[in-house]
Amino acid sequence: MIVFIEIPFSAGRGAFQAFTKALGANAVGWLGRNATLDDLKADDAPNKYRLVGGRFTLADALEMKGVTAYSAVAGDPVLRMMATWQAWERQARHPQHWVPHTFNLREALDERIHPVMVATEAMMRGLRQRGVGTEMDRIMADLTALPVTIGFGEHADAFTEAMAQRLGIDTSELNPAAFAEFSHAPGATGLYQSLIDGTVPDRTLHHRLMAAAEGLPVWTTH
């Protein structure tokens, strides 16, 4: 059973749809869509699912049984924060909807509004085993010790190929658009500088993951 850790606004609903189409609805368990965390951690989960995914942490993933590999898409933190904000603006009933009404994105970042700052470290939270510190070296050490496939939003085709190989299916059965980045960062503006300043932990981890890949479009360990 392969575990896909969904980093918000890197590859989410599209990834669920792509894996479901390729493997069949009954072969994919996704937190909050067709399964609970207890379902994914159950002893019989490897017999039910070929792949499980969702917005849980590496600590949760390590409690799952019969896992053969872990995977995630590490999207650009600046683009991910912009996509998060745009989603908040579109969702009138979102718990953080007060933010767009009160601040624009640059102001929210500069004032370090709590929900926004939490969102800027989504990658750190997802790929950390436990604890509340950044623990950059520990995160990298934990991932290196595991069988992982980490993709990057600008190289969706390569991640698709790697995941198809892990799953034992033809590459054509997975839609690379589900794992791709489509946004563009703003130019050298005040907003861009605020995004750079506000996403330092996730950007640092993003650079460390790319460095671990040693120039390859996907980081795959043993």
DSSP labels, 128-188: --SSSS--HHHHHHHHHTS-EEEEEGGGHHHHHHHHHHHHTS-GGGS-GGGG--------S
Query: Considering the entire predicted model, what is its pTM?
Result: 0.93
User: Does position 77 have pLDDT exceeding 70, yes or no?
Assistant: yes
> Can you give the CATH number for the domain in which 117 is found?
3.40.50
Digit-coded pLDDT (tens) for 119-161: 999 999 999 876 555 689 989 999 999 999 999 999 999 999 9
Domain count, the chain: 1
Task: Provide the mean pLDDT of the chain.
Answer: 92
- Mean pLDDT within 85-114: 85
Q: What range defines the domain where residue 140 resides?
A: 2-220
